[in-house]
Structures are given as C-alpha cells and as structure tokens.
Amino acid sequence: MPLNDVELRTLHNTLLNPTISEHVNPASIDICIGNKLLIDDCLSSATGHFREVDLSKHSHSNPYLFPPKTFALVDTWEWITVPNNCCVELKLKSSRAREGWNHAIAGWFDPGWSGRGTMEIYNLRSIPIPVYPRLRFAQLVVYRMTSEPSKLYNGCYQNAITVEAAKHSPNR
C-alpha cells in the first residue's frame, strides 16, 4: 500500500534532496523537471539520436518550447534515494497530462536506488508546450515493503548525476 502524507513527511528528507514540504500530497510527493533534456533527433547520429538542451537557461518567464509530437528524456531536479525497505513509482501529474504531456510507464525505482531520475516524456499536442527547470511535473508514490529484499539495486543507472539515455548490454 502507498504511504500517506504523515509517513511521507517522515521519509521526505531521506528520499529527496532538496526537499520542499509543500510538495507532499496525501499519497505522493511532487518532483520537478531538472536541467537537462535529451530530445529525440534521428538526424543526429553522432549523439546517439539525441540532442541535448540545457534547460538551466530557461525559467517560468522564459520557458523552453518543447516541440509537438516529440519524445525526450529529462532528469529530475531532485536527487532521489530509495530506502532499502521501500520501492517508488513515478507517475505524471494530472495537471501536466491535461496540458498534453505523456510519460512512459517505466517510472520505477527499486530499493537502494540513488541518483537523479530520468523521465521519458512526450508532447501529445500539435503545438509546443513550455517546460523549464523546477516545473512540478511528476509525483512519487512510495511503497514500504514488508521486509528488506535480499539484494538492493546496483544496476547501470545507480548514482546517475544527470539524464541518461538507454545503456545497452547483452543482458538487457
């Protein structure tokens, strides 16, 4: 079962850095867009089909206009550290969905995972949608496990410091 706001407030400082108490909801915690976008650009094979956009140059009053019908990867503003006895699901905020955003359903953080999260986003609309750092974009739903797992996350995305494209290996 998801943790409620009382439980989330006790976990908040461990789970996220920085923490913003106003981002705690009844059953989730809001997280924000970070500083880097990797936009799908099939014409740019030198960068692995992604073009990097530095969002730190943008703000609420000067947003980046995210192109229509475009896929991108973006990092979270917050550093996420999942406690060993929890797992976390990332969900798009309904307000963002109503603006025309979509998020891939791959938003899952295993016990022991730590780093900046990567969100897979898509503009469903036929017009650009503004985006900028610290935009409240998604929410984390935290589940406490009945006990710690025998093995914690120690995969290739551990301690990610920014957005990362897929890392391909024979075992993936």
78 a catalytic residue = no
Pairing of strands 50-54, 71-81: unpaired
- Contact predicate 145/87, CB 8 Å: yes
Phi, psi for residue 145 in degrees, rounded to 5 = -85, 155
**Among the options 52, 99, 120, 164, which is catalytic?**
120
* CA–CA distance, 16 with 31 (Å, rounded to integer): 9
CA distances from 55 to 61, 66, 131 (A): 13, 11, 8
Radius of gyration of the chain (CA): 16
Q: Catalytic amino acids?
A: 120
